[in-house]
Amino acid sequence: MGNKKIEVTLGVEIGGTTTVFGLVDSSGKCYVEEKIQTRPHESPEFLFDQLFTKFGEIYNQVSDKYDMIGIGIGAPSANYYKGTIENSSNLNWKYVNVVELVKKYWDLPTVITNDANAAALGESKFGNARGMKNFIQITLGTGLGSGIFVDGNIVYGHDGFAGEIGHMTVEKNGRSCGCGRKGCLETYASTSGLVRTVLELLSLYNDDSVLHEIAPNELTSKLIYRAAINGDTIANMAFEATGQKLGEALANVVACFSPEAIILSEGVALAGDLIVRPTKHHMELNLLNLFKSKVDILLSGMPRGDVAILGASALIWHELMLEKDKKKLAMINN
């Protein structure tokens, strides 16, 4: 009997509080899924010791079935070119060469990128951007993360940090942003931005709104969503205003990259049509004529819960595929 092992990659996503990892095959099937606490105040060695001890125990039990061929890591402030995490605000690490560190535990091809780029790669390999060579992935969580895919590859820029759509200035002297500047897109289009918009609207309008009854520090995007679907005027105005800011900014982004679609995921995107409709409307209003009615706004096609692991795993699958293509090309040319 043939006993061929299934090729899998290890996807790891390092978050500020939790690090998740799992084994994923080339079709996006997740076989093993685990998590550990990140403890950002401990050293990176501490995290990887814990990670690979736990993973090693699991892999020992399944290594007769699976053949691990690479490791992909998504992390905040990760630099794809250097394999490093630099000055992350979520992790208290100044400068860590993650790829070098991983090699001490497992000598396999290892790649790292930031979480937004990993999400874009996940969408490209396993989600709604399958088959697309040009698209933009936008994560509308506490902040706004983005990954830009052009001609079949992520845009990293000369230093590895390209794709910070969330910090495009959309309002001169607007809301203050965590980056220290003012008026960044993510201060409007994110879960925290949505809450800020509702608080502003509540102070301006005395309309009947269930949101008046919630303490400002307890207001969440989920509560605003629930109010909106129940017909609350302020909540609906807030989604409209968020979609407007996002749509106007995306019209500019489209002029730069000509994507076939923009994919919205997580946080505010979970409101579905409540955010997609105004975003699409205001993007179309502001698009250069030659792009009108050509760019789709889609919701993520990734299974919720597995997004982080699938994204990180897609990163290394993508890299291995590029390597294969290069080898093929070299053979043809010889």
Q: CA-to-CA distance for 257 and 192, rounded, in angstroms?
A: 27
Which residue, 112 or 177, has its beta carbon nearer to Zn ion? 177
The nearer residue to Zn ion, 125 or 167, going by C-beta atoms, is 167
Tokens at residue 217, please? 């520090």
Give the residue with the Cβ less far from Zn ion, 184 or 295.
184
Per CB under 5 A, contacts with Zn ion among 247-276 are none
d(CA 105, CA 83): 16
How many angstroms separate the CA atoms of 159 and 156, rounded? 7
Q: Tokens at residue 41, please?
A: 């105040």
CB of 138 to Zn ion, least distance (A): 15
Q: Which two tokens stand for residue 287?
A: 């698009």
Site string for Zn ion, 151-190 (x = CB under 5 A): ----------------x---------x-x----x------
Per rule CB under 5 A, count of chain residues that contact Zn ion:
4
Give yes or no for a contact between 71 and 112, defined as CB atoms under 8 angstroms apart. no
Least distance between Zn ion and beta carbon 167 (Å): 4
Cα of 333 vs its chain's centroid, Å? 37
The least distance separating Zn ion from the CB of residue 170, rounded to whole angstroms, comes to 10
99-158 residues near Zn ion, rule: CB under 5 A: none
Under DSSP, is residue 146 helix (H, G, I), strand (E, B) or coil? strand
* Burial of 249: CB neighbours in 10 Å, binned 0-12, 13-18, 19+: buried
For Zn ion, the closer CB: 33 or 86: 86
Q: Coil, strand, or helix at residue 93?
A: coil
Whichever of 11 and 267 has its CB closer to Zn ion, that residue is 267
Residue 245 as a binder of Zn ion (CB under 5 A): the answer is no
**Nearer to Zn ion among residue 167 and residue 245 (C-beta):** 167
- Least separation in angstroms between residue 184's CB and Zn ion is 3
Smallest gap from Cβ 177 to Zn ion, in A, equals 3
DSSP single-letter state for residue 287: S
Query: Which residues of this protein are in contact with Zn ion, per CB under 5 A?
Result: 167, 177, 179, 184
